[in-house]
Amino acid sequence: MLDEQGRRELEAAYRECGPDLWRALYAFGNGDRDLADEVVAEVFMQAAHALGGIRDLRSWLFAASFRIARGELKRRRHRAQLEHAPLRIPDGVAIDPAQQVDDLLALLASLTVKERSAFVLREVLGCSTGETARLLGITEVAVRVRIHGARNRLRRLAQEVERL
């Protein structure tokens, strides 16, 4: 059981990074609110059990969240509960601004898990390269490589859409 100091630390972490964590998981999970809700709850429960051994709580929460979400998405794919819908833009139809979130989620689904996690933190949430590296437990060079790959893949998709 948590002592009072641990409880306060977790509550402060939840207030400070809970909303960003949920948004990152929402984007990472292709707009799956249930996944974001479940993973945020799970990661804070795990943090409560491991709090004494965690050096940087914010980094640990993000890294553990992406790991949990990745595992859950993999389980869902294996159970055929998660379908990856391709980006569908009919010929001659412009993208409706109201559809921009759905379009972004469809584009994010085309990225690898590693590219998506870096892209969501860096480009969607606006974290610095250093903070993204710290949250993912990788080097800044690895973040830049992942972002570069994500941008190239998204650029190719955008060119394909323009040709429609």
Question: Would you state the pLDDT for residue 84?
Answer: 42
Residue of 67, 66, 62 lying closest to 131 (CA atoms): 62
Please give the structure tokens belonging to residue 61.
């929460």
Cβ atoms of 125 and 24 within 8 Å: the answer is yes
Cβ atoms of 24 and 119 within 8 Å: the answer is no
Q: How far is it, in rounded angstroms, from Cα 55 to Cα 39?
A: 21
Q: Could you give all domains of the chain from N- to C-terminal order, each with its CATH number? A: 1-84 (1.10.1740), 93-164 (1.10.10.10)
pLDDT tens per residue across all 164 residues of the chain: 678 998 999 999 999 999 999 999 999 998 999 999 999 999 999 999 999 899 999 999 999 999 999 988 877 775 543 244 443 443 443 445 555 667 777 778 888 989 999 988 888 888 899 989 988 889 999 999 999 998 888 888 877 766 66
User: Model-level pTM greater than 0.75?
Assistant: no
